[in-house]
Structure 1
Amino acid sequence: MAGSSGELTISSYIQHHLTNASVGEGFWTFHIDTLAWSIVLGFVFILSFRAVAKKATVGVPSKWQACVELVVEFVNDTVKGTYHGKSPLIAPLALTIFVWVLLMNLMDLIPVDFLPSFAQFVGGQLGHDPAHVYMKVVPTTDLNMTLALSLGVFILMIYYSIKIKGAGGFLKELYAHPFNTPWLYWFNFILEVVALLAKPLSLALRLFGNLYAGELIFILIAGTMGLWQLPLHFIWAAFHLLVIPLQAFIFMMLTIVYLSLASEKH
């Protein structure tokens, strides 16, 4: 966008940055930039942690090994203090969610014109109109991505509820709680279903809303300041350094809490 931002209004500049590169139509529209960056960052997480595991030593660790061990220990202690069931899946799941979401959030610190401008240059070389080449580099500013993550958590909630309590026990929690009175079963069912569906929905919207707002401010700074954006960019980025890990931690923490609740018998 750097080369064409002078020809655009602020509103069209913002709209361009908030538009995903997509293929398909209607429900089967795929945001290829969100998919590509999330997959790449997933491999960054897997390969970097695997490299540390293969080269781990019992002596003085390298700086990267110490960093990885610190993250793993932090997540493991969080799971032990929060999850009250027994499952070998929860700790690896929590680690994956925390690091993967953190990496996706960190893309927010890259100057907003840098990668989209490069994509426009490449698109122009391939014969495409640069004005119609889009790229959003922060996967968690795409509601589809955060909903997909929360949907995975929701499926695990249902799985653990049925596995530990049985299908009958899970259904009984829906209609017999909080008022175990037959004539209020219908009321209980409505309350519990709404509460159940609200968990993954709020999980997705919280992450999306915070990252989307942060990215929008970066875009506003770039659109109004042009080449003078860097000082304000770094000031906002310094503040955003608190938001990025915090949102990854909240998503991980709520996932553990929801799965812990699903694993408890009432």
Structure 2
Amino acid sequence: MASEYTTSEYIKHHLTNASMCSTDNGIAFNAQCADAGFWTWHIDTLGWSIGLGLLFLFLFRSAAKKATTGVPTKWQAFVEMVIEFVDDNVKSTFHGKSDLIAPLALTIFVWVLLMNLMDLVPVDVIPMISGLIGETFFGVDAHHVYNKAVPTTDLNLTFALALGVFVLIIFYSIKIKGVGGFIKELTMQPFNHPAFIPVNFILETVTLLARPLSLALRLFGNLYASELIFILIATIGYFQLPLHFAWAVFHILVLPLQAFIFMMLTIVYLSLASEDH
């Protein structure tokens, strides 16, 4: 597929999301959405992320329904290992009391991991299939069909995940400390004197906002760079296989690590929000 484009066109095509927007003339797609403004939907990101989320629910629910107290199946044993791994990290890190944190941590870890693992799919497979479907059934030139299969390479998705965590940080801060306690935390730390309230507020607000920002940018930056390198390797042509294999083996470790870091930082931030000073 790389031979059909120049190198820059090939890279741009693989890094472009399938977009949908609403215009004065109705629903528009991709290049027609350039001037559509803020409300442009990345339908490939939405499709893959929702689909992988449903896959996670289906797989874990099926394991729960078929679970036995006797000798477990391999899949049941694997699911139990994942749950125990997440539960141990929650118990050692989260110091408050909440029935939400462990299921939330499990969901974040497995969902982000599944989205990250899409990075191991050869970069030409899904765009090629999408192009063939577009040409065959919709009469669309394959060059104008886009499909980014790694949702975590889309900054919109990583920010959406981080904003969800940020809302929970605010919720637990107010729930545990009360509105007054939360305001006092923002205005009376680190310098516990009324004269330093403006300075404290600026410092604490920057710290508070840096948490979701760092969550979103860390995950996006690592996965975007990884996908870009896979795409660059694919431009080499017939000599790409050894490099592709080596980079993929390396990412068998990196992709779970990024999901683990996102989960652990979420637990840490919610634990800090749940502390009653």
TM-score range, shorter chain: over 0.9
Residue of structure 2 in register with 1:119 after alignment: 130
Aligned pairs for 1:207-218 within 5 A: 207-218=219-230
- Counterpart of 1:158 in structure 2 is 170
Deviations 1:72-100 (A, max 9, x none): 00000000000000000000000000000
Cα deviation for residue 265 of structure 1 reads 1.6
User: Does residue 1:91 correspond to 2:102, yes or no?
Assistant: yes
Q: For 1:1-266, what aligned pairs fall within 5 Å after superposition?
A: 2=1, 5-24=2-21, 25-125=36-136, 126-224=138-236, 226-266=237-277
Q: Tell me how far apart the structure 2 counterparts of residues 73 and 252 of structure 1 sit (CA, whole Å).
A: 14
In the superposition, the TM-score normalised over structure 2's length comes to 0.93
What CA distance in whole angstroms lies between the structure 1 residues aligned with 2:77 and 2:245?
28
The 1-side partners of 2:241 and 2:135 are apart by: 26
Q: Which amino acid aligns with 1:158?
A: I
Shift of residue 227, structure 1, vs aligned partner: 4.0
Instruction: Name structure 2 gaps, 5 residues minimum.
Output: 22-35
State the Cα RMSD in Å.
0.8
Question: In percent, how many aligned pairs have the same letter?
Answer: 71
Q: 1-side partners of 2:66 and 2:221: how far apart?
A: 39
Mapped to 2, the partners of 1:120 and 1:230 lie a distance apart of 23
| Partner Cα separation in structure 2 for residue 108 and residue 167 of structure 1 | 43
Question: Normalising by structure 1, what TM-score?
Answer: 0.97
Q: Which amino acid aligns with 1:144?
A: N
Q: Which has the higher helix share?
A: 1
Distance (whole Å) between structure 1 residues aligned to residue 191 and residue 232 of structure 2: 50
CA distance in 2, matches of 1:115, 1:62: 32
Amino acid at match of 1:164: I
CA shift for structure 1 position 232: 1.7
The corresponding residue for 2:33 is none
Secondary structure of the structure 1 residue equivalent to 2:84: helix
